[in-house]
A and B are shown apart, each in its own frame.
Chain A
Amino acid sequence: MTTTSLPLPGTAALAALPVPAWRRTLRRAAGHRGLLIGSIVLGLAVLAAVLAPWLAPHDPFAQDVTQRLIPPVWHERGTWEHVLGTDKLGRDYLSRLLYGARVSLVIGFVTALVAGLIGTTLGVLAGYFGGRVDAVVSYVITCRLAMPVVLVALAMASLVGGSLKVVIVLLSLLLWDRFAIVTRSATQQLRDAEFIAAAKSLGASTPYILVRELLPNLMGALTVVATLEMAHAILLESTLSFLGLGVQPPTPSWGLMVAEGKAYMFFQPWVIMIPGVVLAVLVLAINLVGDGIRDVAAPDGRH
């Protein structure tokens, strides 16, 4: 981290305080209820995804037609053998849910990372160089914004054929816009800051300035956008999978589980309720973490 003073609100005030900035930030983070709850839920989801092979009581792919559509344990016909019941092919719902967390989280993390890389590169270049570079990048951003994400993703997925990799590539190519917009305007604000001028006068090369001086100052904003886009990507993956053009069966994806349960929802509503609620809770947790980081990074208030 650079310790030079910044024109960003909050961070500048923090840098002037005697207690190290990161420790005060950490203390504020621990006191933020939304951030705390969000981090715990997200942490549990990551744990569940990583430990899925050990946690899952059954093989998520093992079908057993004699055990079809068993309701969850709180239902009068439920059994402890299948805590969350089974689906239309007799596969254990809890096991599929745990493995499904892997799909959602991998797509969320990787998409946010790749889209962040694309968007940040474009945004920083446009913001730092301005002029013609900015004009080109702004045009590309506008073109991207004009595309209806769901429709384009659907059409492309149907051309290429849906799979985990395809979904990640498509979403990464579609969700970089917010990264670019945010980094572009932040870079424009920082371009003329003293510490950039100082680095220039010390003879630092442009790549060095961009990566070592500018980028660390964008990390706060980038983290917030990354969480938002991660949540966005997870929702879009589930939508694509629900429409049959995302992750393909028999891979357990939460969106796919809702799609597979759709035909049974009238009499066994839990087959769509369980994956839907889990999906909403995960997205909610990620959003809470994002909001929390924003609050903690800007102590002056929520707006």
Chain B
Amino acid sequence: MQYGLDRPMVTQFFEWLGSALQLDFGRSFYFQNTVMELVGERLPITLKLGAMSLLLAVAVAIPLGVAAALYRDTWVDRLALLVATIGQAMPNFWFALALIVVFSVGLKWLPVAGNASWQNFVLPAVALGYYAMPSLMRLTRAGMLDVMGSDYIRTARAKGLSPARVVFKHALRNAIIPVVALAAVELGFMLGGSVVIESVYSLQGLGQLAWDSIARNDYPVVQAVVLIIATFYIALTFVADVLNAALDPRMRTR
């Protein structure tokens, strides 16, 4: 009776919705804790993983995208596209396992699983970040190609500015605006996609919690995690729009 399962379905749903709005998701069927306690425990790990993955993805995507655009149609460009295409084609659970085989078992550099120290986050972050990298790289490249052909770049060049200054100060600043917005959206994707990576590396994050709860038929927890990740996703998409407006004055007039 403590779960109210005897009441009509519709009543239960609105009751759940009402308390969910107050961040009360009820109690887990499996643990004695409330869902919020469980989530609060796991969320930081997933956020840490998401942040590290995003950082890695951006750190690789932007230089690679800029290089690909500057050396268009050379081997640099082709290499960058190859790296991106492979990243989009590899199943991420398999890439995660392959990383373990090479770096944990083969080279013995990093731990296989767990979440004891920062080293435990390196491989998962690489696996998750590689998944987000291609779209960021492609957008950086497209943006740079677009900007490099514009009048103000020609003006900057004509002024006699150094090529590095033209590229980084004038071109990249403008090309990067949509990339920043996409990065926010990608972070949302990664929070949702972390289930797979967390289960491979047994990171005790939100994804692992969802995965375990699915196996235990612990629906209050599953509902809460899906809702929380969806909320994060919506919030991040909103942040992306705000960032776009903040970084690009032209977006504000409309």
Contact = CB atoms under 8 A, between A and B. Distances in A.
Contact of A303 (B142, B214, B237): B142
A243 B211 contact: yes
Interface in A275-303: 275-276, 279-281, 283-284, 287-288, 303
Given A155-B222, A243-B199, A280-B91, A262 B97 contact: yes
Contact of A148 (B90, B199, B226): B226
Interface string B79-101: 00000011011111111011011
The SS class assigned to the B binding surface is helix
A279 B91 contact: yes
B184 interface: no
The SS class assigned to the A binding surface is helix
Interface residues of A, number: 36
Contacts of B145: 303
A151 interface: yes
B233 A154 contact: no
A108 to B, nearest CB: 13
B132 to A, nearest CB: 14
B234 interface: yes
A149 interface: yes
Interface residues of B, number: 38
Contacts of B97: 258, 262, 265, 272, 276
A224 interface: no
A235 B87 CA distance: 12
Nearest to A153: B195
A148 B222 contact: no
A262 B202 CA distance: 14
Contacts of B230: 146-148
A148 B98 contact: no
B192 A149 contact: yes
Q: Which of B93, B199, B226 has the most CB of A within 10 A?
A: B93
B184 to A, nearest CB: 14
A272 B234 contact: no
Contacts of B86: 280, 284
Contact of A146 (B196, B214, B215, B234): B234
A145 B195 CA distance: 18
Nearest to B210: A151
Contacts of B98: 272-273, 276
A238 interface: yes
B105 A151 contact: no
Interface string B85-126: 110111111110110110001000000000000000000000
Contacts of B211: 154, 243
A150 interface: yes
B89 A148 contact: no
A152 B91 CA distance: 18
Interface string B30-67: 00000000000000000000000000000000000000
Contact of B91 (A235, A273, A287): A235
A54 interface: no
B89 A151 contact: no
B225 to A, nearest CB: 7
Nearest to A234: B91
B91 A151 contact: no
Contacts of B195: 150-151, 154, 243
Contacts of A231: 88-89
Nearest to A158: B214
A283 B86 CA distance: 9
B210 A154 contact: yes
Interface string A153-181: 01100100000000000000000000000
A280 B101 contact: no
A273 B105 CA distance: 15
A284 B84 CA distance: 11
Contacts of A269: 101
Given A147-B230, A151-B192, A272-B98, A283 B89 contact: yes
Interface in B208-254: 210-211, 214-215, 217, 222, 225-226, 229-230, 233-234, 237
A275 B98 CA distance: 12
A128 interface: no
A93 interface: no
B191 interface: yes
Interface of A: 145-152, 154-155, 158, 231, 235, 238-239, 242-243, 245, 255, 258, 262, 265-266, 269, 272-273, 275-276, 279-281, 283-284, 287-288, 303
Nearest 7 pairs of A and B residues by beta carbon: A148-B192, A276-B94, A284-B89, A283-B89, A158-B214, A280-B90, A146-B230
Given A258-B94, A279-B91, A284-B86, 4 more contacts: A145-B237, A146-B233, A242-B93, A276-B97
